[in-house]
Amino acid sequence: MVEPTFDRVAFEIGSLPIYWYGMIIAFGAMLGLILALFEAKRLNYDSERVVDVIIWSIPISIVFARIYYVIFQWDYYSENLGQIIDIRQGGIAIHGAIFGALLVVVIYCMRKSMSFWKITDILAPSLLLGQAVGRWGNFMNQEAHGAETTSRFLKETLFLPDWIVNQMYIDGAYYLPTFLFESVWNIIGVILLVVWRMVGNPPRGYIFLSYLVWYSIGRFYIEGLRTDSLMAGDLRTAQLVSIAMIVFGVVMMIVRRKAKRYDDPSEKGLFD
């Protein structure tokens, strides 16, 4: 019998268990903040605005991510109401977090008379980085995995180290590490978005819209490999949302192809 490499509990404070999942999510948020501040400084953008948006977005995103997850698992949570607020062992959906964060950004930009597109362009790579890191919380929880496979495939085809392979041994079988596929896809996306912004001067909003399209393409295909998808009837919820985000992103890029360039300092309206 193969023993998992890691326990989901990192340590305990008295009788209170502290889970790797929450620590990794927090670490991903911190790295996202660091990247956003670096980019804001490089682009001569007000870093205080970035910090304010992120500070407000993090708790709201977590709440929305949990609400989204609970809605699509209501059959279970309707009979276990006391577990609705318990996220220490997982149970949050990234699409819910994205919707929550965007709501915060829209409200903040309205109050401060800021350009929604300009600040989301700065935040998009950071959000993708946070998602890439956060997937490793799924790894620690042995969740968000794909179909059953073999240790030979994991080692000899995917060339994964033993510490990942062992963690993918769950209830007597090995499973595809779809969390890893998405994490790698997201990291590649971060690099592409940051490099594009450095060497090019895309229309305002293109970085954010490209984030939506890039992430959604990867999520659509990877979601098809998973065995624990949230469902809307017979359809995978994440795939439906991914299609909608791809269509929205592409259409808006067409609409905004003549928008102000990213380095234009003016901000006259919310969707300027």
- pLDDT, one tens digit per residue, over 41-75 is 988 899 999 999 999 999 999 999 989 988 888 88
pLDDT at 97: 92
pLDDT exceeding 90 applies to what percent of the chain?
65
pLDDT averaged over the chain? Answer: 90
What percentage of the chain's residues is helix, strand, coil (to nearest 5)?
A: 65, 10, 30
Q: If pLDDT is split at 50, 70 and 90, which confidence band does 14 have?
A: confident
pLDDT at 1: 63
Note whether 8 and 105 are within 8 A (CB): no
pLDDT exceeding 70 applies to what percent of the chain?
95
- Between CA 239 and CA 224 the distance in angstroms is 8
Q: If pLDDT is split at 50, 70 and 90, which confidence band does 90 have?
A: low
- pLDDT, one tens digit per residue, over 196-224 is 998 888 999 999 999 999 999 999 999 99
pLDDT at 221: 96
Q: What pTM does this model have?
A: 0.91
- pLDDT, one tens digit per residue, over 114-145 is 899 999 999 999 999 999 999 999 999 999 89
pLDDT at 269: 66
pLDDT surpasses 80 at 157: yes
Annotated binding site: 135
Which residues neighbour 217 within 8 Å (Cβ) at sequence distance 6 or greater?
242, 246
Give the rounded distance of the alpha carbon of 64 from its chain centre.
13
Note whether 170 and 145 are within 8 A (CB): yes
